[in-house]
Chains A and B, each alone.
Chain A
Amino acid sequence: MSGQKITIEYNDRVVRQFLLATVIWGAVGMLVGVLIAAQLNFWQLNFATPWLTFGRLRPLHTNAVIFAFVGNMMFAGIYYSTQRLVKARLASDFLSSLHFWGWQFIIVCAAVTLPLGLTRGKEYAELIWPINLMVVLIWVVFAVNFFWTLARRREPALYVAIWFYISTIVTIAMLYIVNHLSIPTSLLHSYPVFSGVQDALVQWWYGHNAVAFFLTTPILGIMYYFLPKAAERPVYSYRLSVVHFWSLVFVYIWAGPHHLLNTALPGWLQNLGMTFSLMLWAPSWGGMLNGLLTLRGAWHKLRTDPVLKFYAAAVTFYGMATFEGPLLSIKSVNALAHYTDWIIGHVHAGTLGWNGFMAAGLIYWLLPRLWNKPLYSTALANLHFWIGTVGILLYVAAMWTSGITQGLMLNATTEHGTVLAYPNFLDTLNTIRPMMLMRVIGGGLYLAGWFLLVYNFYRTVKGAAPVNGTIEVYDEAPAPDAKLSLAGTFFSAPTLFWFLAVGFSSMWMFGTDLVSTAGIVGAVACLIAAFALVPSRSQAWGGWYEKLLLNALPFTLLVFFAVVAGGLIQIIPTVLVQKAKNVEDRIQTPYTPLELAGRDIYIREGCYLCHSQMIRTLVPDILRYGDYSRLGESIYDHPFQWGSKRTGPDLARVGVKYPNVWHFRHMENPRAVSPGSNMPTYPWLFSHALDASVMPAKIKVQRLLGVPYGPRTAQQIFDSMDEQAKGIAKDLRTAGAYVDSDKEIVALISYLQTLGKSLPVITKSAPR
């Protein structure tokens, strides 16, 4: 070792900034969560105000806790640990600052636009297109800053935490861009390029993997750094790290369709989604094992150290949620649980337990180190832990009970299975009311715990001088050894076996007879060869992997190939298949301009957050809502509105089920026609005039996207809207409901009355 000894000062300023943002946005996001949970119990809490209504605040809650709370926490953890793991200061102070302020600006934009009803109408992808562009830009800034830092590292090998960070950066970029492809109709509005089943598939490929690569992999990376640090124990198993990392990033991507089980999604995708979700159990538990078993020899410290308490509980909740996930992905379990509170409970076990507790542990551990002052109160931190834990348990137990109860009631039949035992949806809703109240209490406790953290944070840093970490290193170029060329990366036994196994398996899965047979033979041969070679070659393969760890770019490329496979195989066939053929036996009638305008109101108000438009291929769904939904019936829906939760009933076939005046009275005051309903009132729809001027631009984009609208002038569009609206207003008038035909409610009613309208298609072809 030659070279001069120098001292590096880490950029901990940006870490402190992100940490502070985590604390603040965490409080905001959880507060909104408690509010909307309370709104479900007391509809009056919607205050008959557009921007305080559940449908607009729920996206604010999800976006705030995912992207603002966990996002900032992730950046703090990644920047703190990466600098130390690679022994280099963050590459650029400017990029670090831009990353921080850019991300906060995005959050503020989101917090303003979402309550205003500016949304893309896709869950966790609601932000409008100008904000999408900013997110992409800032993510690139993050990526450049991170990889540039890696390029300047003084530590040649990449530690397992860094693997997880790399997979996060690469995969989120891919998912985010594909799911946000849209064509603007104005500065604030756009239509997604995908529609119907394609949009559903892309959405849940994104949605599921946002959970995977935004809420899981970066936090696992953080676990691999901060947990052994806090426990002062070695990581349990490097080998387990390797196996569970690669299996996790490969398998996760395939599991997205489990959000669409028993729907109109083609069966092969449902089967892939279910089986890969089951395969995900072991890789997820690999992370849990490595976390919990690292605590071996340190369990006694849990008694006194709140940080370790949080970590141990977080990892346990991670294990619980990742066992529950595969369980819920089994089609028959899903038939009961999907659209119910069980899913809400599952998600919150992950977010409150895993993400929230990891964040708390991270913050309590970092505070003394970043401000060079002991934590203000360990007792308060311990209290936070206990209040938080009780809060989660109440929340999750309430949601399990609620979801299973409602699922059983909705699916129950009577009279030899020929009719529903509880035909009135509201009976099932009002049965779970006590559990919904329990959820507010549990969430409130969790929030109270968070406020303890806020106070502790404030008291700790008040008057404390921020301090930046330093390290002494030898100023020298990294050892030139062990460069792995691209050929050496890809033409190595482990990589080749991987590619061949995936290739052969795909041939077997999708090929025609001969290709399929070749595929199964190839896959089995691969398997036998790999196992036969393990005893003699495992050392060499291990050596190759260690060499790979010295090479960031080849490593990143391999990660990209691992995550891209599942997406390509699922999405490309679905997107390429001709729309006209992808309809089963029915095809949707395109919306009239007024109906389309009404649909955009439906999306603006977030109706899809409580109402699905997807009657599953399940008897109870069919008995309750009508014939099961066909692919063709949503083929022109940009975006799709299949929904993911039924706080209210499904609306796929609600069109013409009730007279116009029913919807009029219902939107005015849901309880006037549905006693016991918890739906908000929508008085503004009756006073706001519909903005028809935007419709020509919207229809133009719809045509561009392939919706069969004939050419028509703006005037023709306005005339058609006017005529249809007047007809509805007249019908309402005869039923005793008086409203001007230009009001938003008229457009919304026109949309609701068209739901389920479709034409039969003679040529039946089921695409694979």
Chain B
Amino acid sequence: MRDVIIIGAGGGGPIVAKELAAQGLDVLMLEAGARNKTPETNWKHFENDANNPLSGYLRFGPSDRSKPSWYREVTQPAMISNLSGVGGTTQHYFGNSPRAMPGVFKGYQGDDAQDYDRDFEFPFSYEELTPYYEWVEATLPVQTAAMGTSEQVFFNGCENIGMSVQVTKDTFQDGYRAQQNAVLQPSGNAGRTTNKSDLTYPLAKGCTFCGHCTQGCYEPLNAPRNLKARRSTDNSYVPMALTADLWAVQGKAVTLVADAYVTQIHTQQINGKTTATGVSWRDVNTGEIMTENAKVVVMAGGCIENPRLWLNSGLPNSHDWVGRGLTDHAFDFVCGIFPFNTDSSKGVGSSARADFPGKGCIEPSSLGPAGLASNLMMSDSGIRGMYDNGRGVFGEWDGPSGRLIGNEFKNFMSDVNKTMGMLIITDDDVEANNRVEPSSLMSDEHGAVPKMTIHKRTRSQRTLDNREFLANKAASILRAAGASEVLRIDIVPLLLHLQSSMRMGDDPQNSVINANGEAHEVAGLFVADNSALSNALGGPNPTLTTQALATRTSEKIMVQYFSGTPWVNSNEPMSSIDDAITQAVLARGL
């Protein structure tokens, strides 16, 4: 019997794994997708090879790439962009690590308090989470992003429309700034040359500005796994978890099993309460079913898989809130074309941002041509000039919103380094009818597939207004930065930032887990990924907050079930790039 079983090795699970392994617990972490042990040989800087949503090595599907990806039912057109595999969706994230807006937490007293979704706030204060932010920021580590050409263009635009620069991690007013990124910043030759031989570790350290965040980070070449530039969990927390016995006093290494799709959470009635006792999983390659028991089970399979697993397992759902309240940041994409170089295919995916408390965020995003083309095609407004699908919105951009096609598309793409895409990250409301539930129509070898409903056009008025505000603001920044043409795509739901489908709250009637991260209705069952978030955070990218919350939940587990004591306020965090970790990683051959 294990102390803890963690379901999912994505953005949240490895945080709990590392924290509890460092405390000496016996932890088993299960991951449905692949474990990429040797990214330098298995991964490439090719967009289709990596990012094809059907067949790429970074997809939501089994590790065997000859097999189809895993199906998810959607009730309206949407683009699903989260990943399976050790590291989860952090394998292709940009490392953007802003803190949440303080206004989404309980007890917020700012003048703009009513600008937020007050019905679904976090059940504790921002100040209570702050030490956990600091702990994670030191562990990853999170650093202020360096500037390249595209960031300079973005900053020029923000300056020209009179925005204020933000010089703090906490966000209380509109402002623009360099991202706080979970990316090791360049040193040595990194960022200063294109010569491959000069870009190997230790000649180059940190980000080499290769421009391939979305294909998975394995730069600089020859660097130990924990010193790869981008701090996806496969490069940061997972190596720490797998070596906890080597660097933590009384630490115990985590057991990690990949290709293990959990299909059942087992419970028993103990002391009159439904209590989690273990899990069963299916070996994705052999079909073999395995079962293990544990004192505590932690769900960290993501906003889509957690509700599916919960409901397929027949766990209680008295208030019908499991899977409900899904937020997706109601993304949009605004893109400009410039008469000068923006070098937008170079550098980190995003190293700059603008925040608008109560409304959301904007960030420039660097992509290769296939990725950019894909974004330009995701419109809900039909084809510009041909049909508008009942939308075709006008604003600060040129002409109606919509996708480009034919020669207009080809001309727009004629120099990818003279474009700049802006991601609109909306502060969207928690709404009960946005949800994940098991499909009544389809199942696969892992049970009924998840069915997702995200209403794009009929979101709350606040959500819709925020999205319009941000799209117009992004177009203004692009114009002020010198764009000669600005287009709004008006994309269909892009299921990339997903939050709150197993939301944390005080009231069991509109939440699944309590303020400790434990299920209201199942003892010993915790949730520790984006789905645990109470809301959409006000718009900031969710990973850092998920990781801070998962750290807090780890303490709660340790105190409540293993007679431990909290450590975040009393100990110094060990950085994942500390030499002790590097030596442990090398010793273990990771």
- Bound together: no
A interface vs B, CB < 8 Å? none
